[in-house]
Chain A
Amino acid sequence: MAPLTINDVRKSYGALEVLHGVNIDITDGEFVVLVGPSGCGKSTLLRMLAGLEDISAGEVSIGGRVVNALQPKERDIAMVFQSYALYPHMTVKQNMGFSLKLARAPKQDVRDRVLDVAKTLNLEDYLQRYPRQLSGGQRQRVAMGRAMVRNPEVFLFDEPLSNLDAKLRVKMRSEIKQNHHRLKTTTVYVTHDQVEAMTMADKIVVMNAGRVEQVGSPLELYDRPANIFVAGFIGSPAMNLIAGRIVDGHFLGSDGTCMAVPAPAARLEGQEVKLGIRPEHLVIDPQGHPAEVLTVEPTGSETLVLMQLAGHEIVGVFRERITLAPGKPLSLSLMPDHIHLFDTQTGLRIPLSPEN
């Protein structure tokens, strides 16, 4: 267990810079998820923490010790790969004990430690099997076991669940979370799946195009996204965004729809803005704005409705069982406390009240 600091870290391949100065502070025992679309540099950053990629500029320190120049084995980290990367010619037991064997630990210690970890992961019955004889979930557990055996300062996960089917993914998600709860080891977890990020993280780092867009707790990111990118990336279905401007203290959509917005927006008079509203913050209201239903997707617990409003296709989520048909008109209003405004030029969120 150790804090991990990433200080103005850059990565370039020749003249091409792919990470443009990343700063992240991770406290002892924290579970941090790096999330972003593919190609945003999150995996590269993780590999730099592991020591598999050189750090072009900046500093990474683990437990107060700068590790830039250290070999992976000197960094006291363990990594779980997306493809598990289990050694196919070794049994589960040998796979899990490999790092201790390389470290020339006494055989009895290796055996005890492997058995210990295997017990916590329910793998005792599989110790003599080879990776090809295991199911996806078991392989995933062996990969985690291999990391846990060494009792490292930091765990690194590189999209560990993306090879599993949906059901198993949910199960393994909670297993990883439980393990973290028990071991309290500092963890950095990379994923492109924002649901994984929301459900597992103590702290989420949203990355895009080699930059950190926002760092914060899952609900912080959800309730107060720093910019349009985070607003669109966190949350499923994504936040609806409507382009327009502020006129006379009201939001005027590009098609002429006029909507009420919280009073502080008056100071933005004339400014081009985007109005953001989450799907669950739309209310069916006879006094609301006219909209047209495009498709209806009932899931049982809720109903997803794709609608046309103010010249934009927007999604609404309704908990009540409503009967709607495509092509029918609908009246909608926006919950005023949940309206976000973003500066169209900079993409940044404009705070509308002191506390948000």
Chain B
Amino acid sequence: MSGKTSKLTRPGLPGWLILVGSALLVLVCLFPFWWMVVSSVKTLRELYTVPPIWWPDTPTFQNYSNVLFQSNIPRYFLNSVIVSAGSTGLALILAIFASYGFARFKFKGKPLLQSMVLVAQLLPTAAIIVPLFITLRFLGLVNTYWGLILVYMIITLPLSVWMLTSYFKNIPVELEEAAIIDGASRLECLFRITLPLSLPGIASVMVYAFVTTWNEFIFALCFATDSSVKTLPIGLAEFSTEFNTDWGAVMAASVVMTLPIAILFLSMQRLFVGGLTAGATKG
């Protein structure tokens, strides 16, 4: 069969055009990152040079030492890790059970509940900041890890539930029925059959939730005003003062902030990309 198809001409654009197009796209996407890395090893004077310097003659690591040893960035990094990992973990656990329920059981009010989950996602950030702040203050959670973790969980949970629900629905029910006949309980079905087969979906949800909370700015700005709980995006903003901005330090801190995301993404890339397409086709 493959012998026959190779003789057929490919429909659509010619190969070289696709290659040039994708190369251009990749270049445009990667340019900001490259500029960030280059700028982080420039001196302040070199940063302001016109025409711009594409690669400094003597790269300096002064910006990195400033960021790592003379700023609050390491502490903020730790805060970000705790808050993002905490909210991602919590959202994942809740999303797994909620999605499994939505995907496998019939019950009264299911469509309503499912759409309510989405409604929460549709509310504009500005509209919920004040109510959230009042709630957090009432609970004594302003300026705590738990406050941010809970808020971020609320933001990421709806989409996580929807992603996982559609993923679970794509796993044949018969596998679970076979497991039930084999003597598995509902929870054993979930943990021994459905979850292991949903790894790509779970990876997608993890990456989505982690990246969203890692980058979040507005809520962190409002609910974490004490440096003991401030997160990295706030830390970046702190390099800009009323009178000047230490761009070199901002760039170095940005690189530090980007690394965990890049590592997370690369380590889960195969699963993640698989997870994005697996919903579309069977198997």
Contact = CB atoms under 8 A, between A and B. Distances in A.
27 contacts: A52-B181, A71-B180, A72-B180, A72-B183, A73-B180, A73-B181, A73-B183, A73-B184, A79-B177, A79-B178, A79-B181, A81-B174, A81-B178, A85-B172, A85-B174, A85-B177, A87-B175, A87-B179, A88-B175, A88-B197, A98-B179, A98-B182, A99-B183, A102-B182, A102-B184, A103-B183, A150-B182
Contacts of B188: 102
Interface in B128-184: 172, 174-175, 177-184
Contacts of A99: 181-183
Given A50-B181, A77-B181, A81-B178, 7 more contacts: A72-B181, A79-B177, A83-B172, A85-B172, A87-B179, A87-B193, A150-B182
Nearest to B180: A72
A78 interface: yes
Contact of B177 (A52, A77, A78): A52
Contact of B196 (A79, A89, A98, A103): A89
Contacts of A83: 172, 174
A236 to B, nearest CB: 30
A10 interface: no
B180 to A, nearest CB: 5
Which 7 pairs from chain A and chain B are nearest by CB?
A73-B183, A99-B182, A85-B178, A85-B174, A102-B183, A89-B196, A79-B181
Contacts of B175: 85, 87-88
B182 A146 contact: yes
Interface in B192-220: 193, 196-197
B197 A78 contact: no
Contacts of B183: 72-73, 99, 102-103
Interface in A130-189: 146, 150
How many chain B residues sit at the interface, stated as a range, is 10 to 19
Interface in A68-86: 71-73, 77-79, 81, 83, 85-86
Interface of B: 172, 174-175, 177-184, 188, 193, 196-197
A83 B196 CA distance: 20
A103 to B, nearest CB: 6
B163 to A, nearest CB: 20
Nearest to A99: B182
Interface residues of A, number: 22
Nearest to B197: A89
A216 B197 CA distance: 44
B interface SS class: helix
Nearest to A52: B177
A251 B181 CA distance: 55
Contacts of B196: 89
Contacts of B181: 50-52, 72-73, 77-79, 99
B121 to A, nearest CB: 31
Given A87-B193, A89-B196, A89-B197, A81 B182 contact: no
A interface SS class: loop
Nearest to A81: B174
A77 to B, nearest CB: 7
A51 B178 CA distance: 11
Contacts of A146: 178, 182
Centre residue among A77, A83, A98, A103 by max chain B CB count within 10 A: A98
B278 to A, nearest CB: 13
Nearest to A80: B178
A149 to B, nearest CB: 9
B235 to A, nearest CB: 42
Contacts of A71: 180
A52 B189 CA distance: 14
Nearest to B175: A85
Nearest to B184: A102
A105 to B, nearest CB: 11
A56 B221 CA distance: 59
Contacts of A51: 180-181
A89 B193 CA distance: 8
Nearest to A104: B183
A73 B185 CA distance: 9
Contacts of B180: 51-52, 71-73
Interface string A87-99: 1110000000011
A91 to B, nearest CB: 13
A51 B184 CA distance: 13
Nearest to B174: A85
A332 B182 CA distance: 57
A61 B4 CA distance: 57
A51 B175 CA distance: 15
Contacts of A73: 180-184
A313 to B, nearest CB: 40
A90 to B, nearest CB: 9
Contacts of A150: 182
A155 B172 CA distance: 22
Nearest to A158: B174
A162 to B, nearest CB: 14
Contacts of B174: 81, 83, 85
A200 B5 CA distance: 43
Centre residue among B175, B182, B193 by max chain A CB count within 10 A: B182
Nearest to A73: B183
Centre residue among A51, A79, A86, A146 by max chain B CB count within 10 A: A79
A71 B188 CA distance: 15
